[in-house]
Homo-oligomer: A and B are copies of this chain.
Amino acid sequence: MVDIKSLEPKIIDYRRDFHKYAEGGWAEFRTSSIVAEKLVELGYEVSVGLDIAEPEVVLSKPDDEYIEEQKARAIRQGADPKWVEKMNNITGVVGVLSTGRPGPVIGLRFDMDALLIDEEQKEGHFPYDQGFASINKGFDHACGHDGHTAIGLVTAEVIASMQEELKGTIKLIFQPAEELGGGARAIVEKGILDDVDYFVATHVGMTYQGLGLPSNACACGFNDFLDSRFYNVFYAGKASHPCGDPHVGRNALLAACTAALNIHTIAPHSEGLFRSNVGILQAGTARNAIAPNAYMEVEVRGETTKISDYGEKRLLTIIEHAAKSYDVDFEVEFKANTPSGKSDPEMVKIIMEEASKLPWFENVYEEGEVGGSEDATEMMTRVQSKGGLATYIAVGADLSGTVHSSQFDFDEDCMINGVELLTAVVKKIGSK
């Protein structure tokens, strides 16, 4: 078995490369191509495209024109056109290592997509100072998925190196479009998780008792995943000249502003966490025209299905009546959702035991907080429904900047230790 610590420079190289060429959800053609190629080199059986995703349930996917542009961009940035073609416009990679010996199927999940924001390009921001800030304008790994992909690739290498000691099957899932929602569902619906006995999804950073989980700590289970639902809203009013014909217009901009403010006034719920957000609002065509159009990207999240149902009802009510107040037509497109989810205590226990043996982890916590949602819950739920055990873990990392902000960065030291933990768990469960 390879010396894990010696792979630290490699894991950092991977991460910085993915960071520099940040790719948004359903556009991870370059990342997927590199992952696929490496897994093949390491001896994994690699599947992509229609072999790993059910296209009918692909939610939140951008339009074809965008996909074509992104494929071209990815190829210009080094994606292997052969892999891109195989992907059939659906990103993501699954690598399977069969030991040939009967035993459990262990599934590990790593997500690969960047956020659709601009990265900080200023001194003092580590990726910028080190020259690996995103060169893809509008895309930024502000949630650490670059690190997850790097951890996945090095974990793949370590597992491959120790395959003689293992039984059963190792299934590595490199998932697209976690941030947009929808990436996990396509893979789940294809049945990729149906035979998995033990499942671990991994994230860097995260929270423990309200504070950031620092480097040297880890959390071995999570139970506070929010039921989250995403909507796109389209308002269609009527343009007119604001001086010449003001009364003829139907002002979609003011309707959207009213909706946005009112959505943010939706009352909390006494039974648990509720969140709503209008993340994007775009309205209007010209300064000197009453705005005939508006577009919003909106989400609600609840600690339970009941709370999300409450939020959704309030949200849709507001969207409808803010439009009608301004005599504006409206359309709401349901984009994606992710359910809530829980870690299996038995699986948490295994992780805790292994983490406690590793010197890096000074604090090993039973349960951390996501404080949000994650479509890993789609996979966890499927595994559990088939009788398997699942958890979601966090490898703590000191952070710069807030998660999802353009200043976000994480302590790269966490990555190799994450590999240590994951491979220790695989060894524990899958040893001959």
* Interfacial chain B residues near A287, Cβ < 8 Å: 230, 277, 279-280, 297-299
* Interfacial chain B residues near A274, Cβ < 8 Å: 247
* Interfacial chain B residues near A241, Cβ < 8 Å: 371-372, 402-404
- The 8 A CB mask of A294-313 against B (1 = contact, 0 = none) is 00011101000000001000
Are A271 and B240 in contact, with the CB atoms below 8 A? Answer: no
CB distance from A385 to the nearest CB of B (A): 25
Are B270 and A245 in contact, with the CB atoms below 8 A? Answer: yes
Closest to A180 in B: B287
> A244-B270, A288-B372 provided; 12 other pairs, C-beta below 8 A?
A228-B243, A241-B404, A247-B269, A257-B260, A270-B371, A278-B284, A279-B291, A281-B281, A287-B297, A317-B325, A317-B327, A325-B325
CB distance from A140 to the nearest CB of B (A): 9
Does A40 reach chain B (CB closer than 8 Å)? no
Complex CA–CA separation, A148 to B339 (angstroms): 43
Closest to A179 in B: B288
- Option from B280, B321, B371 in Cβ contact (under 8 Å) with A244: B371
Does A2 reach chain B (CB closer than 8 Å)? no
* Interfacial chain B residues near A238, Cβ < 8 Å: 402, 405
Are B284 and A404 in contact, with the CB atoms below 8 A? Answer: no
* Interfacial chain B residues near A226, Cβ < 8 Å: 243
Does A200 reach chain B (CB closer than 8 Å)? no
- The 8 A CB mask of A115-143 against B (1 = contact, 0 = none) is 11110000000000000000000000000
* Interfacial chain B residues near A314, Cβ < 8 Å: 327
Does A258 reach chain B (CB closer than 8 Å)? yes
Does A416 reach chain B (CB closer than 8 Å)? no
Does A419 reach chain B (CB closer than 8 Å)? no
- Option from B276, B280, B325, B406 in Cβ contact (under 8 Å) with A262: B325
Closest to A226 in B: B243
* Interfacial chain B residues near A324, Cβ < 8 Å: 317, 320-321, 324
Complex CA–CA separation, A247 to B226 (angstroms): 17
Complex CA–CA separation, A230 to B370 (angstroms): 32
CB distance from A278 to the nearest CB of B (A): 6
Closest to A262 in B: B325
A80-88, A248-256, A343-351, A389-397: which lies at the interface:
A248-256
Closest to A280 in B: B284
- Option from B253, B257, B289 in Cβ contact (under 8 Å) with A405: B289
CB distance from A150 to the nearest CB of B (A): 22
- 30 A–B contacts from the bound complex (CB under 8 Å): A115-B285, A116-B286, A117-B286, A207-B244, A228-B243, A239-B404, A240-B404, A240-B405, A241-B372, A241-B402, A243-B371, A243-B373, A244-B403, A246-B268, A247-B310, A249-B402, A253-B278, A254-B264, A254-B278, A256-B257, A264-B265, A265-B265, A267-B290, A279-B289, A280-B286, A281-B284, A284-B297, A286-B404, A287-B297, A287-B298
Are B288 and A268 in contact, with the CB atoms below 8 A? Answer: no
Are A402 and B239 in contact, with the CB atoms below 8 A? Answer: yes
Complex CA–CA separation, A36 to B137 (angstroms): 39
* Interfacial chain B residues near A289, Cβ < 8 Å: 115, 117, 277, 279, 404-405
- Option from B249, B279, B373 in Cβ contact (under 8 Å) with A284: B279
- The 8 A CB mask of A199-210 against B (1 = contact, 0 = none) is 000000001001
Closest to A336 in B: B287
Are B286 and A115 in contact, with the CB atoms below 8 A? Answer: yes
CB distance from A334 to the nearest CB of B (A): 13
Are B268 and A275 in contact, with the CB atoms below 8 A? Answer: yes
Complex CA–CA separation, A373 to B243 (angstroms): 8
Does A322 reach chain B (CB closer than 8 Å)? yes
Closest 3 pairs (CB-CB, A-B):
A243-B372, A257-B257, A280-B284
Does A318 reach chain B (CB closer than 8 Å)? yes
* Interfacial chain B residues near A282, Cβ < 8 Å: 281-284
Are B279 and A285 in contact, with the CB atoms below 8 A? Answer: yes
* Interfacial chain B residues near A318, Cβ < 8 Å: 325
- Option from B261, B280, B285, B402 in Cβ contact (under 8 Å) with A265: B261
Are B258 and A262 in contact, with the CB atoms below 8 A? Answer: yes
